[in-house]
Amino acid sequence: ESVKEKQFDGVAQNETFKILRVVDVMLNEITPVSKENELHIFEAMQVFEYFKNTEDFEWMEKINVLTRRLKKVKVLSEQRRINGEKKRFYKINIGFIADLCTRYKI
């Protein structure tokens, strides 16, 4: 039992685990801009604000820090032009995230 507790504590302190936990909850709380099968597109600033409002990521000050962290779970960023204005979006494969969450027991 002690070994299992230590393993869980190690995983819980793991940044990938923390990112997945936030993304998993966020997928149910934020509406994507668009859906292309399992690929959901989210406005980057909305995702950034969501992360900043969590206990684990309230320290984050710049969106590029989040972009680098999200690459660990294969969430990619891209720029799109909407009404002549460039905006950054995150592409999240919900099937892949669900698989990772299962592996990390989230």
Q: Are 30 and 46 in contact (CB under 8 A)?
A: yes
Alpha helices in 30-72 (DSSP H): 44-52, 63-70
Distance CA 79, CA 88 (A): 4
pLDDT digits (tens, 9 = 90+) for 32-70: 998 989 999 999 999 999 999 999 899 999 999 999 999
Distance CA 91, CA 77 (A): 6
Q: What is the pLDDT of residue 84?
A: 80
Residue that wins the pLDDT comparison between 12 and 52: 52
Residues 50, 52, 54, 57: is their CA dihedral positive or negative? positive
* pTM flag (> 0.75): yes
Q: How confident is the model at residue 25 (pLDDT cuts 50, 70, 90)?
A: very high
pLDDT for residue 95 is more than 50: yes
What are the backbone dihedrals phi and psi of residue 79, each rounded to the nearest 5 degrees, phi first? -100, 140
Q: What is the pLDDT of residue 7?
A: 53
Q: How confident is the model at residue 71 (pLDDT cuts 50, 70, 90)?
A: very high
Q: What is the pLDDT of residue 81?
A: 81
Q: Could you report how far apart the first and last alpha carbons of the chain are, in Å?
A: 19
Which are the contacts of 78, defined by CB distance < 8 A and separation ≥ 6? Answer: 88, 89, 91
| Residue type for position 22 | V
43 strand-pairing partners: 89
